[in-house]
Amino acid sequence: MPRATNVPATRKRRKKWLNRAKGFFQGRRRLYRSARETAQRAMRFATAHRRRKKRDFRRLWTTRINAACRIEGVSYSRFISGLKRAKIELDRKSLADLAVRDGKAFKKLAALAKGQK
């Protein structure tokens, strides 16, 4: 009598890793061991990069706000501190969006920030 190896569970476990490896190149998608190792590595990068994305976007917003501030003749730090003194609580995402899409509104905010000494 053949040895029972719990084939359904093994197949399911392997299939799960092979499905995660879809889109990988050559044996990294077809061979179980390579697929599993590569998928695990990819999952580690995905976790790290979800956190990294938050940092990257904040840097982008800060850069955009700074560029718009320089056009208005005020430094980024003076602009932010002026907004805080004026009790304007807009986050950097909103400010960057205004800087890119609505120049007039950003100009008014810059004037308010300049006026706060």
For residue 102, how many other CB atoms are within 10 A of its CB?
Answer: 12
Tell me the average pLDDT across 93-106: 96
CB 52 within 8 A of CB 44: no
Q: Please give the backbone phi and psi of residue 24, each rounded to the nearest 5 degrees, phi first.
A: -75, 170
- Quick one: pLDDT at residue 4? 78
Q: For CA atoms 6, 9, 12, 15, give the dihedral sign.
A: negative
| pLDDT at residue 37 is higher than 80 | yes
Q: d(Cα 78, Cα 56) in Å, to the nearest integer?
A: 23
Q: d(Cα 20, Cα 35) in Å, to the nearest integer?
A: 8
The mean pLDDT value of the chain amounts to 94
Residue 69 or residue 117, greater confidence: 69
Question: What domains does the chain contain, in order, with CATH numbers?
Answer: 7-115 (1.10.1900.20)
Tell me the pTM: 0.76
Would you state the structure tokens that stand for residue 75, as one six-digit string?
């430094």
| pLDDT at residue 117 is higher than 70 | no
| pLDDT at residue 1 is higher than 80 | no
